[in-house]
Structure 1
Amino acid sequence: MKTAVITDLHANREAVESVLEHARAQGPHSWMLLGDFVGYGADPGWVVDTVREMVRNGAFAVQGNHDLAVVLGASPQMRPEPRFVIDWTRAQLTPAQIDFLASLPLTVQRGDQLFVHANAWAPAGWEYITGRMEAVRSLHATRSRYTFCGHMHEPRLFHLSGAGKAGDFVPTPGVPIPVPPHRQWLIIPGSAGQPRDGNPAACYAMFDDEAATITYHRVPYDHQAAGAKILAANLPQRLALRLEDGQ
């Protein structure tokens, strides 16, 4: 069964539309959406409605830290820029859309597969998996053979053998990677809405549990149009520039 795994959509309609079109062409049987549907981009309402409709039709979604921040509202202790973006985003959403974000679980377990936004050891703490050490910590926190995480905006793949030997690498887009279940695997698809590995193309991954493979994909989209919307909304210019160079 093929599962499309998409994360960190970040209110980027242009990226999300392109990713969904590309993923549908691969014939997925299910969809997993790993959070951060809002924040940074100029189309939070459209993205939330799209995710909500997908969930109604059988997709699964988990909550990200940006989603929770919008639910709770900006804190006075926040720096001015994130506080402004959170306040702006809340103003674009209806109460029903905010309620949907509030209702999302932190994790979804499906057989030997765990889906979570940040990590498996403390999903509500929002700590990042920046390298092998954090990946092993996350894998040690679950018995799942496959853990799928967002939060980190760069596509990565980590594994842990039964003998405790860990490894990681940066995947090549479009190439199926064998992920046999005798190891534990931690899969980070990369961000659909705001990649940060120097490549502006949107990210997602396709997991095939019958073939035991994961395929990472990069999808070009009109990032200039998405950036122009950010500027037109008077959101911070930096958020538009990041889409140009994938940083």
Structure 2
Amino acid sequence: MRLAVLTDVHANREALEACLAHAKENGAEQYAFLGDLIGYGADPAWVLDTIISYVAKGAHVLMGNHDIGVLQEDRKEMNTTARYVVEWTRNNLSDFHRDFIRDLPMSFQLEGCLFVHANAWAPEKWEYVDGVMEAARSMNATTAPITFCGHVHTPSLYHMNQAGKVGEFTPVPDVSVPLSKLRRWLVQPGSVGQPRDGNPAACYAIFDSLQQELTFYRIPYDAEAASQKVLAAGLPPSLAQRLLHGG
């Protein structure tokens, strides 16, 4: 099975459209969306409607911290900008959208792999995997040989050998990586809708479960259009600039 793994879409219609089109062209047979479907961007309803249409065809979807934020009154853990956008997003969603979000799980397993938004040790606490220590903690919290997670907006690949030593690998786009069964793996595809590594191109990955190969992709899209929508919606200008500069 060729599984497209997309995370941190953040209500960016243009980026999601580009990634879904690319995934289809590259033989994706199934889709997994790892949370933070909304927040920051200007098209939350369109993004949710699109992902809901994929769920109807068998896609899997997780809850992210920005998703659950629209259901909560108290969001003290979020910064001022994120809280403002969450409130704006809440006011631009229907009851149908909110019900869909409310039913999303914190994790799921597919093809023997674990899928979470933030980490495997406490998915509901939204702690980041942003280094080898956190990656080791996450991999040690599950028996799954491969864990896919989002939350971090930069593509990364961690691996653990049989002695428990963890290393980090910076993936090269369009180059397949064989995931040896002699190691354990933690995959961060990067963000579809708001990359933060200095490259504005959207991120996602395809996992071929038959070949045990993973390919990361960077997909150029109309970031200028997405940025202008953020400004037109009255959202913070810093979010518009972030789309243009990938940071």
Q: TM-score range by the shorter chain?
A: over 0.9
How far the C-alpha of 1:210 sits from its partner, in A, is 1.1
Structure-1 residue corresponding to 2:170: 170
Native 8 Å contact 1:2 1:209 kept in 2: yes
Task: Rate the CA distance shift 1:172–1:56 in 2: closer, same or farther, 3 A.
Answer: same
How far the C-alpha of 1:79 sits from its partner, in A, is 4.7
- The letter of the residue matching 1:45 is A
How far the C-alpha of 1:28 sits from its partner, in A, is 1.3
Runs of 4+ in 1 over 4 A off after TM superposition: 76-79
Structure 2 segments unaligned to the other structure (5+ residues): none
Structure-2 residue corresponding to 1:31: 31
- The letter of the residue matching 2:34 is L
How far the C-alpha of 1:77 sits from its partner, in A, is 7.8
- Aligned mates of 2:79, 2:172 — CA distance in 1: 37
Native 8 Å contact 2:111 2:209 kept in 1: no
CA deviations on 1:116-146 (whole Å, 9 max, x unpaired) are 0000000001000111000000000000011
Structure-2 residue corresponding to 1:45: 45
Structure 1 residue 232 corresponds to structure 2 residue 241: no
1:193-212 map, 5 Å = 193-212=193-212
- Aligned mates of 1:57, 1:186 — CA distance in 2: 27
Counterpart secondary structure, 2:159:
strand
Counterpart secondary structure, 1:47:
helix
Structure-2 residue corresponding to 1:128: 128
- Aligned mates of 2:166, 2:42 — CA distance in 1: 39
Counterpart secondary structure, 2:152:
coil
- Aligned mates of 1:75, 1:132 — CA distance in 2: 29
- The letter of the residue matching 2:206 is M
CA deviations on 1:166-219 (whole Å, 9 max, x unpaired) are 111110000000101221100000000000000000000000111111000000
1:137-216 map, 5 Å = 137-216=137-216
Deviates more, 1:95-104 or 1:76-85: 76-85
- Aligned mates of 2:39, 2:78 — CA distance in 1: 14
How far the C-alpha of 1:73 sits from its partner, in A, is 3.8
How far the C-alpha of 1:27 sits from its partner, in A, is 0.9
1:94-105 map, 5 Å = 94-105=94-105
How far the C-alpha of 1:162 sits from its partner, in A, is 1.4
Task: Rate the CA distance shift 1:151–1:76 in 2: closer, same or farther, 3 A.
Answer: closer
Native 8 Å contact 1:34 1:116 kept in 2: yes
CA deviations on 1:29-68 (whole Å, 9 max, x unpaired) are 2111100000000000000111111111100001000000
How far the C-alpha of 1:84 sits from its partner, in A, is 1.8
Counterpart secondary structure, 2:226:
helix
- Aligned mates of 2:43, 2:206 — CA distance in 1: 25
Native 8 Å contact 1:14 1:222 kept in 2: yes
- Aligned mates of 2:150, 2:188 — CA distance in 1: 6
Structure-2 residue corresponding to 1:14: 14
Native 8 Å contact 1:35 1:61 kept in 2: yes
How many residue pairs align between the two structures?
247
How far the C-alpha of 1:80 sits from its partner, in A, is 3.7
Task: Rate the CA distance shift 1:97–1:223 in 2: closer, same or farther, 3 A.
Answer: same
- Aligned mates of 1:73, 1:195 — CA distance in 2: 28
Structure-2 residue corresponding to 1:57: 57
Counterpart secondary structure, 2:238:
helix
Q: For the aligned residues, what is the CA RMSD?
A: 1.2
How far the C-alpha of 1:163 sits from its partner, in A, is 1.3
